[in-house]
Each structure stands twice: as structure tokens, then as C-alpha cells.
Amino acid sequence: MSIPNFPYQSSYNSYENAKPLLEDAKEEKVGFIEFIRRANKPGRYERSISLRITSTAAVVIGILAAGTVGELSPIAIGITAISTIAGSIYSAFSYKRPRLWFKLVLAIFGIGIFSQFLLHIVAAANSGQLTSVLGPLATLFASVQALHAFDVPARRDLGFSLAGSATLVAIGAASALNTSFIFIIALWFIVVVWGMISMWGSMAEGKVSTGRSLKQASIATSVVLAVAFAIVISLPAPTPLQTIQLPSSVTNQVQLSNGGGLVNPGTKNIEPAQPGKPGGKIAVGGYVGFAGPLNTGLRGQLSNQIVLRVRAPHPSYWLGETFNNWDGQSWTQKGGNTKAISGPSPFYLPITGPNVQASGVISPSRDIQTFYVATDLPNLLFAADTPEEVFYPGSQIFLGPGRSIRSGLAMNSGLIYTVISQDTRATNEQLAQALPQGASPTFGLSSQELSTDLELPNSYSRVHNLALSIVSKANANTTYEIVTALENWMAKNVKYSTNIPPLPPNADSVNQFLFVTKTGFCEQISSALVVMLRTLGIPAREAVGYVPGSFNALTDLYEIKASDAHAWVQVWYGPLGWQNSDPTASVPFSTPTPGSLLLHSISNFASSHKLWLEIIIPLLLLTNGGYLLLLALKKREALSWIDAQEAKLRKASRKNNSWPAGETSFSQRVKQLGGQLGPTGDPNKIKTAIKLREISESIEKLYYGRGNIKPTDSPPKSLATEIESKINQVYKELIKDKGPAEK
């Protein structure tokens, strides 16, 4: 047991003026500044090597995690990872050096990185130009971590590294496309848990048994893991704000040179489906309806492989193209020509049909959908509702007939594009009021275009009679009532099956389906509905694309399989334009999380108030920065008196290397400094030592004696000048004294 300074040997102050007693102590509240001061107290050098290794490993894993999903460029990964490791090694060995200049250098680097980040964002916001998906945010975080690694002396700094690696992993997780990313998170989690165990061990100064802490840590982490999983499931990945950047990229660029014609990679190298024959096999992405005519006589099997992943605010029919011409067996496109749209991304699409916004019935929101192509697909760009803008990596897209958007590049796996659509879906109530029977205005389409959507190859009198009887039985008058009545009849009287016998040669597909087999899949059912509607004089057309697919709550993406290819009906609702109607047994849509709906509305708000945000965000940044600067200055001011006194004596005693180390208070250090000078026997030094003791005691009396002031306060002016003059004297004497080594 060591005995601290034996107390009763200290010098005696005069106590003639013992003040009246029993004075109530003043209440001290911990103010904000004091709180900041306590929080910012520099920590001691951390000796736990395992904590240093794990925090470095966590950051490197975070950088790699952000890198694997393409948020960091390979160069950025290399530089940040290597400098993180180098910085950690440097910090581990540099616990004794004064590092003010080094911190300055780090600060300059940090400012440089941040300003580059800001410039990047400003440039992207100004031009709307999209060059890559590489997130400037991930680069910023990774660089900050790499810089921070050079200055991690204390336990708290290492804790910051551990926490900071979480942001990198989170960035990676937010843009991860599939669930296998969970393994990276698991690896990171193990490292972080180990780091936390070492941190705990180091807090208890190595006096916790590893077994016990491991047990407690595993209980704690399983709880955390469960909570984290619940949060990941319920929270959406952020929908990108349009003001910053929208993803589009291509990894394997193959230019198509067919002038916007459709190419279906799925029909090559595989047994093609043929009319009149039992089902063949169709390649993964190659639903036949996506390239060329939609032959309802074809039979085929589609696999369950994932072909597309979509990040979207809500589930929709991802429309590929529509068909207007029916020949009794196949759907083809009649009229219209292919128009090239060139120029850099984004590509603005002309909107045909009624301007639903102007009609005032629907005020469409703008939905941002990002499509991640997972396998080779026909060069159709899928999109929901009414697409307006396409962010696309190529230099040219084509607007084909039947509202098809065609890619100028082959749609290889790895291609990413983003579509902004007007959400022009109408509610059932709006549909019910939309178009009285017999209303004729064409609402933006030519009457010739509309008449194509009424044409039939023959009179279809039997179908017409059936449709009439259904409608009259249901007492349906408006378009909506008629469509609903027909759909209800279909649901009751028709069986859904993908396994139906081949169509006999020369047979009419609709007649065969409605009056012979009464069994079919989406192609037969939707074709029958279109024909029935056309016989009743309602414009209708066939649409092909994908159903929304299943929603993956971990990645927040809709995963679309090859078998999600679908055919449905679009009905002309006059002022509401073309509206989807799916007579096939209702496809259950996966519901998005409430969080993604919220983010969707935020994103809509941001895109509709783009200009305001561009002003407000920099303003907020500026004011916050100014506030933080003020705070820092104020903090400095609040600490100034004691700090200034300490700095003087520290500077003076550095010459002798005699400033006492350790976490003692200022007055105790002053006393210790005096104690070091005292025993030398040099009368001048003893005089200095006595003066130091006097300084220490007057500071102690000031802060701990009766009527004491708070530890953060500066003393009254007269006392402060008295103490400062003594310190100045001692300072001069200490500076004069170069120490025994130089004598």
C-alpha cells in the first residue's frame, strides 16, 4: 500500500479570519458547456491491443462491405483500407509524442475531403447528371475513418472507430441487392462484439474473467441482434432523393445495332415454344411476349430464377409493352413507329394520352423505381404507370409502338436503370365516375388511334352476345361497371391453369377458351376480356410485363422471377387514360413497409420542392457549422483561466521535463512540481517551490474553501491577477533555470 503525500507536513496558512460557519453550499447544475467539457476530456492511452486490432478490423470490414456493393470505387477501397491499417499502427506506437502539428495536418485533410464531398453533391444537384452509382457519402465516411485511424489514443476514440464502422456497413447494407450480404454483417458483428468485450475488459483493468464476460456479452449481443433484425425488417432502405443522384450503370456494355428493334436473348439456344405443340422450355428472361407478337397458342414453362430486382415505393405492374392488334390467335402492334431519343441521361419521355394532371381528377405523385437486371433480358425497359424520365447508362433509348421503351444496349445482368413515373393509377371510385357510356372525346389521342383499339378480325357475335348477357344481368352501365361485371364473371366461370392442351390449328383462341376449354392462363383470360370489351365498344388493349414480385424485407427490393411475367388488360377510361385491369385471379401484391411509404412521401416532397431544398440545406449546414464553431469558442473561453495557468507552467517546466504526469488536478500538479524542485538544496529553487505551494494553496482555497466558486468558473478579477502574477514570477524563474543537465 502506497502512502500518498503525507499530509500533516504541509505548510500552514494563517487562519485568523475564520469566517462565520454553516453557510449553505451553492447548488451546482451541470450546464451544457460543463457537460461538453466533461465529455471532451482527453482520455488516457488505451493499452488493450485486441481492442485496437478489432476496431481496425471493423473499419476495414466496413470499407470492404461498402465496396462490395459498389458504393466505393476500387481505388477508394485500396487507399482507405491501407491508410486505416497504417494509421492504426501509427496510433498504437505514438502514445508519447506531442501530436498538435499532426492533428492540424489531419484536420486539413478532413476539410479537404469534406469540401470535395460538398462539391460533388452540388455538381450533381446542379446538373442532374448521373455518371455513376458510387456514393460520395460512402467515400466521405471511409476517408474520415481512415483519417481518424491516425489519431486514436484513447478508449473512447477506438469506440468511435467501432461505431463509425457501423455507418459504413449500414451504407453497404442499404444498397445490398441480395441477402448474402448478411454474412458480411455477421463477420462485422463478431469483430465488433469481440472489440466490445476487450473494451469492457480494459475498463475493468483486466480483472474480468473472459468466460464471464463472454457469457454476458453473448446474452447482450443476441438481444441486440434480435432488435437489429426487427429494425432491418421494418425499416426501408432509403429511396434516393431526386435532388442528389439516381442510380444507373452498366457493367457489360454491348451496343445493339438494330435501331430500336426488340431482341429476346431468351429464345436462343433453347427449345422454342410452338403453336399446337405441348409446352417447350423458355430461357430465363425470355418470355415470348416481350419480343415480337404475343402468340396465345404458345405453351411454355418459365423458371423461378430471379430476373429483376426493383426498388420502388410501392408495388405496381411493371409494364413492358402493349398490343392493340388481334388476329384471333396472336397479339401484334399496329401503327406507330420507333423513335430514337438520344442524349445523356436522363431521357425525358413525351407523355401521350390525356393529361390526367390537367383533368384534376388525379394529382399524380412521382414514383422513383430503380431496376437491377439480374439476368439477360429482352431490351425492354420496364416501368410502372406513366414514365416521364429514364436514368439510363447508354447514349440512346428508343420509344417503340405500344408504349414500349427500348434499350440501345443489350440488357445484360448488372445493368441498372431508374425510371421516374407519374403514378396515374385511379382509385375504384374515380374509375366509377370516369366515363359515362357513349362519351366520345378522345382526350389527347387521335380517333384513329382509338379506333385501332376497337378493331376485331371478325364480328365475334357469340362473344358479343355472351358479353351483352353478362352486362345486362349485372345491370352495368358505365365502363367501370362493365369491366367489373366481366371480371366477376371470369372469376366465377373460368378455371386458371398454366397446363392447358395445345391450341388446335386455325382455331380462334378466344372462342376456344370461352366456349370449349374454359381453362387458361393470363394470356387467354386477358385476351378474352379485351375481345369482350371491344365487342361492347370499349377501347381495350393487351399489356405484358411483370407482376410486382415478392418483397424482400431485408434488402427492401421487389424480387421478380421469370415466372412473374404476366399479361393483363388496359382499358380506356377517357380522361383517366389507360388503366390496368387484371381479370386473372387476383395477384396478391406484397405490401411495402410503412417506413418505405413514409420515405416515399418525403422523397416526393423533396422532388416537388427541389429549389427550396437546394437553398435550405446549405443554409442549415452553414448555420450549424457556425453554431458549432461558436460553441467551440465558448467552450475555450469557459476553460480559459485554469487552462491558461496550466499552459504557462507546463510550458515552463517542459524545459526540465518536470511537469507531473497523470490525471491529478491542476493544484496538485503545481504542488508536485514544487515538491520536485524543493529537495535539491538550491535556495533559489526552494524559494520557487514555496511559491508554487502558495499558488496551489490559494487555488485550492479559491475553489474548495468557503464561498467556493464552481470548477468551471474563473475567479474574481483581483484574486485572479494576484495568482497570475505569482505564476508569472515562477514562470520566469523556471524558464531561467535550464536544469542540471545544461550546467
Residue of 540, 494, 577, 573 lying closest to 326 (CA atoms): 540
Residue choice 700, 727, 734, 737 for contact with other proteins (CB under 8 A): 700
Pairing of strands 550-552, 557-561: antiparallel
3-state secondary structure 112-125: HHHHHHHHHHHHHH
Q: Is 347 helix (H, G, I), strand (E, B) or coil?
A: strand
- CB of residue 658 to other proteins, shortest distance in Å: 20
- CB of residue 725 to other proteins, shortest distance in Å: 18
- CB of residue 189 to other proteins, shortest distance in Å: 24
Please tell me whether residue 205 binds other proteins under the rule CB under 8 A. Answer: yes
- CB of residue 157 to other proteins, shortest distance in Å: 17
Segment near other proteins (CB under 8 A); pick from 15-23, 70-78, 123-131, 164-172: 15-23
Please tell me whether residue 10 binds other proteins under the rule CB under 8 A. Answer: yes
Please tell me whether residue 701 binds other proteins under the rule CB under 8 A. Answer: yes
Residue of 394, 514, 527 lying closest to 457 (CA atoms): 527
Segment near other proteins (CB under 8 A); pick from 243-251, 297-305, 452-460, 695-703: 695-703
Residue of 591, 590, 589, 541 lying closest to 567 (CA atoms): 541
Segment near other proteins (CB under 8 A); pick from 12-20, 407-415, 434-442, 562-570: 12-20
Q: Which residues does residue 557 pair with via DSSP β-bridges, in sequence order?
A: 552
User: What residues from 640 to 659 belong to the interface with other proteins (CB under 8 A)?
Assistant: 642
353: DSSP letter: S
| Residue 377, C-beta contacts closer than 8 angstroms, at least 6 positions apart | 265, 266, 285, 290, 307, 308, 411
Query: Can you read off the three cell numbers belonging to residue 323?
Result: 398490343
Residue of 541, 535, 501 lying closest to 519 (CA atoms): 501
- CB of residue 644 to other proteins, shortest distance in Å: 13
Residue choice 40, 41, 105, 119 for contact with other proteins (CB under 8 A): 41
Q: Is 356 helix (H, G, I), strand (E, B) or coil?
A: helix
Judged by beta carbon, residue 717 or residue 743, the one nearer other proteins is: 717
Segment near other proteins (CB under 8 A); pick from 75-83, 297-305, 396-404, 698-706: 698-706
Residue choice 50, 552, 668, 729 for contact with other proteins (CB under 8 A): 668
C-alpha to C-alpha distance for 72 and 142, rounded to whole angstroms: 9
| Residue 303, C-beta contacts closer than 8 angstroms, at least 6 positions apart | 284, 561, 562, 563
Q: What is the H or E stretch that residue 306 is in?
A: strand 306-311
C-alpha to C-alpha distance for 525 and 576, rounded to whole angstroms: 24
Residue of 518, 604, 592 lying closest to 557 (CA atoms): 592
Judged by beta carbon, residue 37 or residue 99, the one nearer other proteins is: 37
- CB of residue 45 to other proteins, shortest distance in Å: 14
Residue choice 97, 207, 717, 743 for contact with other proteins (CB under 8 A): 207
- CB of residue 20 to other proteins, shortest distance in Å: 10
Judged by beta carbon, residue 5 or residue 680, the one nearer other proteins is: 5
Please tell me whether residue 703 binds other proteins under the rule CB under 8 A. Answer: yes
**503 phi and psi, to 5 degrees?**
-75, 130
C-alpha to C-alpha distance for 53 and 329, rounded to whole angstroms: 69
Query: Can you read off the three cell numbers belonging to residue 475?
Result: 345491370
Segment near other proteins (CB under 8 A); pick from 25-33, 136-144, 499-507, 511-519: 25-33
Please tell me whether residue 21 binds other proteins under the rule CB under 8 A. Answer: yes
Segment near other proteins (CB under 8 A); pick from 206-214, 334-342, 450-458, 614-622: 206-214
Written as one letter, the residue type at 33 is I
C-alpha to C-alpha distance for 338 and 327, rounded to whole angstroms: 22
C-alpha to C-alpha distance for 36 and 634, rounded to whole angstroms: 11
Q: What number of helices (H) and strands (E) belong to the chain? A: 21, 21
Residue choice 47, 462, 710, 738 for contact with other proteins (CB under 8 A): 710
Judged by beta carbon, residue 517 or residue 668, the one nearer other proteins is: 668
- CB of residue 29 to other proteins, shortest distance in Å: 11
Q: Which residues of 326-350 are buried (b: 16+ CB within 10 A; e: fewer)?
A: bebbbbbbeebeeeebeeebbbebe
**307 phi and psi, to 5 degrees?**
-110, -25
Please tell me whether residue 661 binds other proteins under the rule CB under 8 A. Answer: no
Instruction: Tell me if 138 sits within 8 A of 71, measured CB to CB.
Output: yes
Judged by beta carbon, residue 33 or residue 182, the one nearer other proteins is: 33
Please tell me whether residue 46 binds other proteins under the rule CB under 8 A. Answer: no
Judged by beta carbon, residue 95 or residue 627, the one nearer other proteins is: 95
Segment near other proteins (CB under 8 A); pick from 22-30, 389-397, 416-424, 522-530: 22-30
Please tell me whether residue 6 binds other proteins under the rule CB under 8 A. Answer: yes
Residue choice 625, 705, 716, 739 for contact with other proteins (CB under 8 A): 705
C-alpha to C-alpha distance for 586 and 578, rounded to whole angstroms: 19
Q: What is the DSSP string of 487-544?
A: HHHHHHH-EE-S--PPPPTT--HHHIIIIII-EE-HHHHHHHHHHHHHHTT--EEEEE
| Residue 350, C-beta contacts closer than 8 angstroms, at least 6 positions apart | 399
Residue choice 2, 126, 461, 475 for contact with other proteins (CB under 8 A): 2
Judged by beta carbon, residue 663 or residue 742, the one nearer other proteins is: 663
Please tell me whether residue 380 binds other proteins under the rule CB under 8 A. Answer: no
Judged by beta carbon, residue 134 or residue 638, the one nearer other proteins is: 638
Residue choice 665, 678, 722, 726 for contact with other proteins (CB under 8 A): 665
Give the Cα-Cα-Cα angle 378, 583, 530 (nearest 5 degrees): 75
HSE on the CB side for 714, CA within 13 Å? 16
Q: Based on the number of CB atoms within 10 Å of its own CB, is 277 exposed (0-12), middle (13-18) or buried (19 or more)? A: middle
Contact pattern from residue 185 through residue 204 relative to other proteins, giving x for each residue in contact according to CB under 8 A and a dash for the rest: -------------------x
Residue choice 22, 39, 75, 615 for contact with other proteins (CB under 8 A): 22
Q: Round the CA-based radius of gyration of the chain to a whole number and report it.
A: 38
Contact pattern from residue 585 through residue 624 relative to other proteins, giving x for each residue in contact according to CB under 8 A and a dash for the rest: ----------------------------------------
- CB of residue 715 to other proteins, shortest distance in Å: 9
Instruction: Tell me if 423 sits within 8 A of 367, measured CB to CB.
Output: yes
Judged by beta carbon, residue 542 or residue 697, the one nearer other proteins is: 697
Please tell me whether residue 666 binds other proteins under the rule CB under 8 A. Answer: yes
Please tell me whether residue 39 binds other proteins under the rule CB under 8 A. Answer: no
Please tell me whether residue 676 binds other proteins under the rule CB under 8 A. Answer: no
Judged by beta carbon, residue 39 or residue 615, the one nearer other proteins is: 39
Give the Cα-Cα-Cα angle 43, 44, 47 (nearest 5 degrees): 130
Please tell me whether residue 663 binds other proteins under the rule CB under 8 A. Answer: yes
How many residues touch other proteins under the rule CB under 8 A: the total is: 48
Please tell me whether residue 108 binds other proteins under the rule CB under 8 A. Answer: no
Judged by beta carbon, residue 190 or residue 208, the one nearer other proteins is: 208
Judged by beta carbon, residue 221 or residue 665, the one nearer other proteins is: 665
Q: What is the DSSP string of 41-79?
A: PPPPBP--HHHHHHHHHHHHHHHHHHHHTTSS-HHHHHH
User: What residues from 211 to 230 belong to the interface with other proteins (CB under 8 A)?
Assistant: 212
Instruction: List residues binding other proteins (CB under 8 A).
Output: 1-8, 10, 12-13, 15, 18-19, 21-23, 25-28, 38, 41, 204-205, 207-208, 212, 642, 662-668, 699-706, 708, 710-712
